[in-house]
A and B are shown apart, each in its own frame.
Chain A
Amino acid sequence: MSSSDGTHPGPRLAHHFDTIEKQDYAVRLGMWLFLGTEVLLFAGLFLGYTVYRHFYYEAFHEASRHLDLWAGTTNTIVLITSSLSVALAYHAIKQNKQKQCAALLIFTIICAVAFLCIKAIEYHHKFEEGALPGAFYHFSEVTAPGANLFYTVYFLATGLHAFHVIVGMSVLMWVLARVLKGEFSSTHYVPVELGGLYWHLVDLVWIFLFPLLYLI
């Protein structure tokens, strides 16, 4: 989508579009379609979770008690807060408040880093306990058959999600750099909007992962 995102504010209309409005509409539509592919990507893992939970109900129930509920809850709060701040950043740039927008983006990125740090601590505990996927599983507290699969799903799903956090964070950093350069304004803010959309998706995936893995 880089051809039409307006690297140069002046001629930001690509040659094959008639109007800026149409071009912005195209870029938004493209982003929504891309978010659709992301949902389908995660859908497979959610399906895997459902199937294995059905197969190994006892093990899944017991293993989920051994996840760190406090870390998970904190991370949920962190991500929801970051979703709010990225939405406010979008709101700010629409009102031409570049500095406020930049500050809110920085806050969002800090939240992303905090999320990853907490996740890393959680992973570290799991490694120490031996609550690991498949062949590496040697956690003594949950021995019901299928417990290793819970951690397979856990690491795959949270790992893929963490990867998306890193990507989303990079996107927001790139948007931030352009905000700081003064490229965006109340008439040109689509990249802020798209970065925000992506970040909301990252948040949304976690909002489903958290109850499935930690709570039920």
Chain B
Amino acid sequence: MSQSSQLSTDSPSPPAVNYLNADRGVWSWLTTIDHKRIGVMYLVSVLIAFLLGGIFAMALRLELLTPGPTIMGANTYNRMFTLHGVVMIFLFMIPAIPGVFGNFMLPLMLGAKDVAFPKLNLLSLYLYWTGATLALAGMIMGGTDTGWTLYAPYSTTTPTTVFPIVLGIFILGFSSILTGLNFIVTIHTLRAPGMGWMRLQLFVWGIYATSIIQVLATPVIGLTVMLVGIEKVGHFGFFDPSRGGDPVLFQHFFWFYSHPAVYIMVLPSMAVVSDAISAYTRKNIFGYKAIAYSSLGIAFVGFFAWGHHMFVSGQSVYDNGAFAVVSMLVGVFTAIKVFNWVATLYKGAIVISAPMIYICGFLFFVVFGGMTGIAVATVSLDVHWHDTYFVIAHFHFIMVGAVIMAFLIALHYWFPKMFGKMYHEGWAMVSAALIVLGFNATFIPQFLMGNAGMPRRYYIYPERFQSLNVASTAGASLLAFGFVIILIYLIYALVRGQPATDNPWGSRGYEWMTTSPPPKHNFHEPVVITQDSHSYQEPGEEVEHVVI
């Protein structure tokens, strides 16, 4: 560790005392205000949520293996896809990258000792746990069959258990707001000396844009689910057409949050890739400012695109057209990022590794998912594809293809920093290949069956779709197998892994300036930033080629 931002690629041995063992006992974890420990607790929590959501997904795929009823009836199936959506979106994807890696890495990247409001940060985690517990309690009490979209008036009249789940979502919203608020203030006030805005790592820029959406959009879903809860219990008629209420208003409220929520999930993923792609090509990021500003651009236009979910809900033609055009602007900003990432790869010293496989997968999925996004944002095409598997495949390309790939990139890239241990690169590459293949096998058939007319949210289907459904289920099994391998080698790495050096990847990210794992207060000496981020070439210095 040196006082400036000069980065060493090796250190003699990992520190004996670090944030993991500075205090001991469960109580020291539950009462910690250390952002790193909170990040680790988020990691464990979201992995449990991911496992749960994954089990629901596999149950859905198993049911769809045959055209008729396979392992469950219609009601169970409806509950299953609702739970899959609620768990994956609210309990996994929204908190995943900001909650885990944002918490852990953001202060390190800024050269700060903690986030601006450490106690508020712990409160966010407890709110997450409270919301998750309520949502899970609702599932145990029978679950609901509304779909994660909770469209009124069905959600206010269904006999299934809606109330605990919407209350859970309401509380999860608070957790998300407080995290975003905390990060914005942290980035504004806790940058180390020498850290100008144009020296922020791109991960920080991405988290900043995400936090703006979290702060501004989440209150609206809070209000919306509150109204659903009140209506369910108190029959206020706000969304009930039999009392003069307007169900389409519900859809506007819902998508005003839930479309930007896509960017709460995707912007951190793009942020991870922007950081990792530079590290794994050992090359300065191409188009730093373009990537940074396009994050803000996506955050901004993302607020005005919600109506593209409602092309067949009775919106005016004028609205449809306006929302379609704004939606396509998101594609422009995303394309800016993709071009810059590809330009970063060009002539880079590409390190063949599991994260690099995921990065390549991510680029393919973002382009493919993004292009089909442009397609479904086209009103005339969407009328045909609406509520078919084509849309399912499209958003899973973004939600799974982009978000999960980025989550895995982040997990592998930062694993040595977080836990001070190295994972087995060979196994990691095997599982990365399995996951990228399995993902394609799962969702490409869904594009085809959707285009051929298979609707979403049905547990039975005409026989002509069976071969595609079998292919999709086989792909999902491959995906699940890949995740199991990851779980095994990461747990093995935690227990038996080789100790990590301070900067095993030779990254120029500021978070690698400290030891692996970091000490309790992040840095042994105050940090002064003297170089730009993502700066791999210094004057007169050869680019180092790392082979793993």
Contacts and interface: CB of A to CB of B under 8 A. Distances in A.
Interface of A: 1-4, 14-17, 22-23, 25-26, 29-30, 33-34, 36-38, 40-41, 43-45, 47-48, 51-52, 55-56, 133-136, 145-146, 148-149, 152-153, 155-156
A15 B521 contact: yes
Contact of B218 (A16, A37, A52, A145): A37
Contacts of B245: 134, 149, 152
Contact of B237 (A17, A34, A47, A133): A133
20 contacts: A3-B117, A15-B521, A16-B114, A26-B188, A26-B189, A30-B181, A30-B185, A33-B185, A34-B181, A36-B215, A40-B217, A41-B220, A41-B223, A43-B219, A44-B227, A48-B238, A55-B244, A135-B237, A148-B237, A149-B245
Interface stretch (B228-236, B307-315, B339-347): B228-236
A45 B223 contact: yes
A149 B243 CA distance: 8
Greatest chain B CB density within 10 A among A134, A136, A146 is at A134
Interface string B112-131: 11111111100000000000
Interface in B242-266: 243-246, 249, 252-253
Given A16-B113, A149-B244, A40 B118 contact: no
Greatest chain B CB density within 10 A among A38, A133, A146, A152 is at A152
A40 B219 contact: yes
Nearest to B184: A33
B371 interface: no
B72 interface: no
B222 interface: yes
B22 to A, nearest CB: 14
Contact of B185 (A14, A29, A45): A29
Nearest to B218: A37
A134 B249 contact: no
Contacts of A45: 223
Contacts of B113: 15-16
B243 A135 contact: yes
B240 interface: yes
Q: Which 7 A-B pairs have the closest CB atoms?
A: A134-B237, A135-B235, A16-B113, A40-B219, A41-B219, A44-B223, A26-B189
Contacts of A55: 244, 246
Nearest to A34: B181
B255 to A, nearest CB: 13
Nearest to A43: B220
Nearest to A159: B230
B238 A134 contact: yes
A200 to B, nearest CB: 18
Given A22-B189, A33-B184, 14 more contacts: A16-B107, A33-B185, A34-B181, A40-B217, A44-B220, A44-B223, A51-B246, A55-B244, A55-B246, A56-B244, A134-B237, A146-B244, A149-B238, A152-B236
B219 A4 contact: no
B116 A26 contact: yes
B438 to A, nearest CB: 39
Contacts of B230: 156
A38 B189 CA distance: 23
Contact of B243 (A29, A37, A148): A148
A36 B216 contact: yes
B11 to A, nearest CB: 24
A101 to B, nearest CB: 25
B169 interface: no
B189 A134 contact: no
Given A4-B116, A56-B244, A134 B234 contact: yes
A48 B227 CA distance: 11
A3 B33 contact: yes
Contacts of A22: 189
A145 B241 CA distance: 12
Contact of B112 (A16, A47, A145): A16
A37 B190 contact: no
Given A133-B236, A134-B238, A41 B185 contact: no
B219 A133 contact: no
B237 A1 contact: no
Contact of A148 (B114, B116, B182, B244): B244
A36 B227 CA distance: 20
B188 A156 contact: no
B410 interface: no
B177 interface: yes
A146 B246 CA distance: 11
Greatest chain A CB density within 10 A among B181, B184, B190, B240 is at B181
Contacts of A44: 219-220, 223-224, 227, 253
Interface in B282-304: none
Contacts of A2: 119-120
A151 to B, nearest CB: 9
Contacts of A14: 118
Contacts of B116: 4, 16, 26, 30
Contact of B190 (A16, A56, A149): A16
Given A3-B119, A134-B236, A148-B237, A25 B215 contact: no
Contacts of B216: 36-37, 40
Contacts of B222: 41
A40 B220 contact: yes
Contacts of A36: 215-216
